[in-house]
Structure formats: structure tokens, C-alpha cells
Amino acid sequence: MVQREVFQPVVYMMANHKRGTIYIGVTSNLVQRAWQHREGALDGFTRRYGCKRLVWFELCGTMEHAILREKQLKAGSRAKKIALIENDNPEWQDLYEALLG
């Protein structure tokens, strides 16, 4: 049986450590995208700054909503991003493993 690709729009944040550098992105396959960041499979910001820890994510109904939410978060202050993460994940634990289970 062939497993279908999961399409779930989501906006997410990666970090290199607690209260460290934060990256905000959007994807339709969070497991695959988080793995790419963790493995450094893609050139860019997350590999350059070592943002390998998935610290926050929010499911969205459509890709358009996810993109709008990403822009809203990127335009916000660093303090607001930290507060959003710490509200759901105060210890900045890597949430990747929980996605697999």
C-alpha cells in the first residue's frame, strides 16, 4: 500500500537553543520540513544559524492562511515570538519527535 503525502498547512518556528535565534516558516508537510532543517539538507538561514529545534507550530486551514500568519509573525516583535513559544513550550523542547509518534 502506498502512503499518501500529508497536506496540512502549518506555520512553524525553529530555534538553535532556548531564547536563541528563531526562524519562522510555512509548509504543507511539517514532518518532512522539520527533518530537512534538522539534517541541514537545505542551504539557508536555518543551516547557517543551526536552527534545528522545532519549538512551535500552528496548524492552519489553508495555505493562504498559513502564509498570512507567517507574515504576521515575522512582522511582530521578538518578544511576542518568544511569548508565543513559551506559552506552549516553556522549556523550548524539540517537538519533532512528538510529530513522529
Confidence of residue 41 (pLDDT cuts 50, 70, 90): very high
Higher pLDDT, 27 or 6: 27
Question: What phi-psi label fits residue 44: left (phi over 0), alpha (psi between -120 and 50 degrees) or beta?
Answer: left
Q: How many domains does the chain have?
A: 1
Would 28 be classed as within a structural domain? yes
Per-residue pLDDT for 95 more than 70?
yes
* pTM, rounded to two decimals: 0.92
Mean pLDDT of 81-91: 98
Range of the domain at 33: 10-77+91-100
Identify whether 83 is part of a domain. Answer: no
Q: Give me the CATH number covering residue 27.
A: 3.40.1440
Q: How confident is the model at residue 101 (pLDDT cuts 50, 70, 90)?
A: confident
Does any domain span residue 5? Answer: no
Q: What is the mean pLDDT of residues 89-93?
A: 97
Q: Is 82 exposed, middle or buried (0-12, 13-18, 19+ CB in 10 A)?
A: middle
Write down the pLDDT at residue 42.
Answer: 87
Q: Is residue 82 assigned to a domain?
A: no
